């Protein structure tokens, strides 16, 4: 019988192949082998620590691991003080028997939807290494798609789990903010940050979510698609959509309708306009990042990715009064969004308006990078700004991967996963 140790050795060999270049920033081969051997011993004794016992897992390079610096994709963090303990997410994975194989690459300080990194190199997309991987959990998306990990742990502040999941053809789950403790994860924007998994199935994401949220895992029971209420927020979120994405999305809606789902358009542009007005002074993520990086934003400016530095610096122009007002208005809009979603089971829209563009198209062209970065983040950002839970599911049969995003009310994480597992089966 094939052992977990055998499986681990196969994954470690895959990591050394050209397709995995720049996907990992650090590997833990010996610790992983010890964890795999322990999982094999439990299996031989008829014991199990749960659904993740023996699963090969990677973690984004912003989680604390005891005894080492947490770089968060930045060269200036290489000399940071070593973490005194594992982040709760990492500790919970270890207790569940997960085999942590390494840390995955990411956009510097998690501040980009395209996934490039000038310090650690640019991971190539799993479908085509000449294309961007999506960010900020870039290595996580590629690792889950290539199979160098069963589960990749990422973070999502504006789409950083769902974007790389969509662009690499895997499932990416963003839980409600604060469902998983943020301690020990280098922050981008504490008001918007979420921690969640990327994997090849909804069930794997659900099992992982339960572990990192500190809950007992119960296998999913798919909710019936018949009479499932799906709202489609047509309007702003469908502008500039690539034809291939639009066609794949409409085909998915047709299949769900044929299965009995009730699909209809849902007004949302008014709430988007009010949120845009509330945050006109500057993006929430930039304002909060400016505070986090205040001590080194000037002193270490040359060490930053210039594009990341520019976006963080923009947050310094927002006054304390403007920020407080922004967050107060946002709280009201979260309530309004929840009320809008109450008659629905989910909102459905393309996870990203476009498929993965070539790395060459954005690597040296700042204007094109900015344009595509904003477009890449546009749809997924809705989930963070309105404090929703969301998931991206791969749509089959596409030349380049396309993701279907489902959004549900905050706190309805389990229900969203039960809907998603039914939708996943219908689409496959």
At 319-364, the pLDDT tens digits run: 999 999 999 999 999 999 999 999 999 999 999 999 999 999 999 9
CATH annotation of 229-277+332-427: 3.90.1300.10
pLDDT tier at 167, thresholds 50, 70, 90: very high
Q: Give residue 375's pLDDT.
A: 98
Would you say the CATH fold of 229-277+332-427 matches that of 4-212? Answer: yes
136 is catalytic: yes
Q: Among residues 254, 206, 244, which one has the least CA distance to residue 403? A: 244
Cut 0.95: pTM above it: yes
pLDDT digits (tens, 9 = 90+) for 171-201: 999 999 999 999 999 999 999 999 999 999 9
149 is catalytic: no
Q: If DSSP codes are grouped into helix, strand and coil, which group holds residue 224?
A: coil
150 neighbors 56 (Cβ within 8 angstroms): yes
User: Which contiguous run of DSSP H or E holds residue 408?
Assistant: strand 403-408
33, two tokens: 């082998």
pLDDT digits (tens, 9 = 90+) for 373-424: 999 999 999 999 999 999 999 999 999 999 999 999 999 999 999 999 999 9
> Where do the domains of the chain lie?
4-212, 229-277+332-427
Q: Give residue 1's pLDDT.
A: 80
CATH 3.40.190.10 fits 4-212, yes or no: no
Q: Give residue 283's pLDDT.
A: 97
Which of 107, 160, 194, 392 is labelled catalytic?
A: 160
Which of 58, 74, 136, 137 is labelled catalytic?
A: 136
20 is catalytic: no
The Cα–Cα gap between 202 and 332 comes to: 31
Which of 60, 103, 174, 400 is labelled catalytic?
A: 60
DSSP string, 359-425: HHHHHS-HHHHHHHHHHHHHHHHHHHHTT-EEEEEEPTT-SS--EEEEEE-TT-HHHHHHHHHHHHH
Q: Give residue 71's pLDDT.
A: 97
Q: Give residue 345's pLDDT.
A: 98
Q: Give residue 101's pLDDT.
A: 98
């Amino acid at each position: 019988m094939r052992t977990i140790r055998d499986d681990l050795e196969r994954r470690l060999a895959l990591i050394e192949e050209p397709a995995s270049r720049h996907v990992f920033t650090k590997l833990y081969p010996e610790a992983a082998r010890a964890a795999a051997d322990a999982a094999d011993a439990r299996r031989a004794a008829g014991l199990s620590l749960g659904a993740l016992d023996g699963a090969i897992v990677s973690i984004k390079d912003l989680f604390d691991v005891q005894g080492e610096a947490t770089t968060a994709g930045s060269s200036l963090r290489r000399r940071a003080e070593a973490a005194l303990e594992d982040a709760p997410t990492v500790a919970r994975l270890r207790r569940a028997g997960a085999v942590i194989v390494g840390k995955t690459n990411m956009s510097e300080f998690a501040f980009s939807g395209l996934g490039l990194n000038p310090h650690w190199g640019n991971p190539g997309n799993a479908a085509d290494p000449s294309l961007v991987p999506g960010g900020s959990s870039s290595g996580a998306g590629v690792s889950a798609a290539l199979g160098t990990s069963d589960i990749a742990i990422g973070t999502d502040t504006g789409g950083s789990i769902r974007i790389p999941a969509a662009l690499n053809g895997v499932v990416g789950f963003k839980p409600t903010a604060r469902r998983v403790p943020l301690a020990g994860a280098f922050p981008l924007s504490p008001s918007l940050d979420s921690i969640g998994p990327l994997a090849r199935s909804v069930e794997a994401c659900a099992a992982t979510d339960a572990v990192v949220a500190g809950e007992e895992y119960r296998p999913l029971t798919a909710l019936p698609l018949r009479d499932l209420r799906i709202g489609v927020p047509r309007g702003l979120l469908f502008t500039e959509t690539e034809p291939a994405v639009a066609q794949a999305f409409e085909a998915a809606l047709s299949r769900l309708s044929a299965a009995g789902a009730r699909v209809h358009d849902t007004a949302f542009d008014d709430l988007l306009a009010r949120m845009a007005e509330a945050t006109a002074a500057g993006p929430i993520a930039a304002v909060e990042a400016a505070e986090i990086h205040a001590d080194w934003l000037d002193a270490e400016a040359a060490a930053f990715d210039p594009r990341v530095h520019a976006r963080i610096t923009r947050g310094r122009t927002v006054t304390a009064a403007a920020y407080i007002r922004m967050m107060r208005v946002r709280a009201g809009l979260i309530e309004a969004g929840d009320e809008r979603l109450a008659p629905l089971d989910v909102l459905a829209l393309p996870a990203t308006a476009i498929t993965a563009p070539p790395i060459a198209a954005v690597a040296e062209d700042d204007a094109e990078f900015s344009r595509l970065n904003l477009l890449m983040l546009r749809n997924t950002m809705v989930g963070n700004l309105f404090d929703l839970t969301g998931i991206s599911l791969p749509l089959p049969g596409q030349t380049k991967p396309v993701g279907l995003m489902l959004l549900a009310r905050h706190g309805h994480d389990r229900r969203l996963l039960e809907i998603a597992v039914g939708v996943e089966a219908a689409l496959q």
